Amino acid sequence: MGTHQTSYVKTEKQTQRWVFFHCKQVELIRSLGADTQVVNRLADFLIWETYANYLSELISVEHKPMFKHGLKKLCMNHAPEAGHWHQRVQNKFPFLFWGPGWMPGWLVWPLYRLFRKVRSLWGLLNGSTIA
């Protein structure tokens, strides 16, 4: 399957529906009694790859944070195994996984932005730049 076949979405609603559709596919395959490892790898690809493509198409990584956190939670519920695509999303967008899992997204984002500003100011005060 190519990316054009798995993730042709343009809006938040389409992305949410597409991820939800993949979650339902995984649940159906699980209910049929497929091997757990196979189902986990399939879930990792279908769900996290769609999410990664959605994030890659955004103009700014800080664009629509609450929607991204809600969608991440849906992905985590249906594909909890940290597979290849989950790792790719985590490495490329570490800000989504920043903070404790129990903390709500509306609190994580302001803290994350504050952390980045403090880190940036600290770098300026010490004469070094931090990306």
Q: How far is CA 31 from the centre of its chain?
A: 25
Res 100: pLDDT: 64
pTM of the entire structure? 0.63
Query: How remote is the C-alpha of 34 from its chain's centroid?
Result: 25
CA distance 6 to 15: 11
The pLDDT value recorded for residue 116 is 72
Q: What is the pLDDT along the chain (131 residues), one digit of tens a residue?
A: 555 455 566 677 887 888 889 889 989 998 998 888 888 898 889 888 888 887 777 655 556 666 777 787 888 887 777 789 888 888 887 777 766 666 666 666 677 677 777 877 877 777 765 55
64 sits in the region (left: phi over 0; alpha: psi -120 to 50; else beta) called left
